[in-house]
Amino acid sequence: MSKKYFSMLILVGLTNLLQACSVAYDLQQDAAIDACKKIVDWNQRTECLNKNKTSFEQYEKQRQDVMNKKTDK
């Protein structure tokens, strides 16, 4: 197996893994939003919905920023 082919397989595998993480994140977020919608108190419901509106891409960027700050210390 050539090095180029192996590298491409690794890249495809990592891409698929990231997509699977994104789907799992979205499913969890949808469940959290459904739970927020059941909250009777308007202020608590709004707070809950705002807390759970971060996209996976935003979450991943925030996570990477935190990880980079930890390695800079």
Question: Over 80: is that where the pLDDT of 61 sits?
Answer: yes
Question: Over 90: is that where the pLDDT of 38 sits?
Answer: yes
Give the domain extent around 57: 3-72
8 A C-beta contact, residue 48 and residue 35: yes
Mean pLDDT of the chain: 85
Question: Over 70: is that where the pLDDT of 5 sits?
Answer: no
Give the three-class secondary structure for 41: coil
The rounded distance, in Å, linking the Cα atoms of 9 and 67 is 26
Highest mean pLDDT pick, 7-11, 15-19, 45-49: 45-49
- What is the structure's pLDDT at 23? 84
Highest mean pLDDT pick, 7-11, 33-37, 58-62: 33-37
- How many domains, the chain? 1
8 A C-beta contact, residue 33 and residue 45: no
8 A C-beta contact, residue 45 and residue 39: yes
Angle at Cα 7 formed by Cα 5 and Cα 12, nearest 5°? 95
